[in-house]
Amino acid sequence: EDEIILFEREMKEFWTKLKNIYGTEQINQTSALRDSCKESIKALSEKWSKKLKEGDLMIDKIQEYSNEILQQSQCIPENQEHLTEIKSNLNQEEEQKKNLTDSIQELKEELMKKKEIISSKNKATKERVERLCKSKVLFEERLGLEIRRIHNEQLQFIFRHIDHKDPDKPYVFTLSINEQGDYEVTSCTPPLDCIAEFQLKVRETNNFSAFVANIRKAFTALSYK
């Protein structure tokens, strides 16, 4: 635009000089040429001005797209890092879930085994108690013994006719079967020093009749002291 203004000023100066030198006809022809030239220059100027504005808009748009692409490019590493973190957390949670499932399965299997062991022990204990109860009549008739089932699946053995001075005086011991399935004397009245020995022997021989007979003999020997 500055060049156009400069060009117009030079054209005016040229026209003034030309007017002073040449005649009216030549001036008119030159004036027409000048006007035509000015119109051409004006049209060309408008055209290029429009092109420049369009170029500026395109540059602004390109710059806007470039900034947007740059922002998105800057977000890619952050998103990638976040995605990696999420994947890592998912893998850890999956591993924890697997470990928890395995632990639960192990606990279930261990619980089932313990239930089976407890059930087997309970069954064996009940069978022993039942066998002892079936021997009740035999012991009562031959040894003057009364057997009672008391709490916690224990058996109470009551001997009478031991003390000749007091035939009805009771001599009592209580028997249970412990967690290992062995006979265990939990109480003895009056106390016997040899009860631990008898208990150990019945665990070794499993001869329960001899065990009861030996305790009765010990009670009898105690009555004479």
pLDDT digits (tens, 9 = 90+) for 111-143: 888 888 877 777 776 776 677 666 666 666 666
Domain limit, last residue, from 142, 157, 173: 142
pLDDT of residue 24: 62
Say how far apart CA 191 and CA 15 lie, in whole Å: 152
Structural domain total, the chain:
2
In a domain, 9, yes or no: no
pLDDT of 157 > 90? The answer is: yes
For residues 142 and 33, which has the higher predicted lDDT (pLDDT)?
Answer: 33
User: Which H or E run contains 37?
Assistant: helix 24-134
The pLDDT tens digits for 182-218 are 999 999 999 999 999 999 999 999 999 899 999 999 9
- With tokens 């057997």, the residue in question is 147
184/214 same-domain check: yes
User: Which H or E run contains 61?
Assistant: helix 24-134
Average pLDDT, the chain: 84
pLDDT of residue 151: 86
CATH number of the domain encompassing residue 187: 3.30.457.50
167/211 same-domain check: yes
Find the domain containing 133 and state its range.
Answer: 89-142
pLDDT of 21 > 80? The answer is: no
In a domain, 205, yes or no: yes
Average pLDDT of the residues in 100-121: 85
Query: With contact defined as beta carbons under 8 Å apart, do 133 and 144 qualify?
Result: no
Half-sphere exposure for 101 (CA within 13 Å, toward CB): 6
Say how far apart CA 191 and CA 194 lie, in whole Å: 9
CA nearest 26: which of 12, 15, 35, 36? 15
Say how far apart CA 199 and CA 221 lie, in whole Å: 18
pTM above 0.85, yes or no: no
pLDDT of residue 60: 87
Domain limit, last residue, from 108, 142, 176: 142
148/198 same-domain check: yes
Say how far apart CA 143 and CA 70 lie, in whole Å: 105
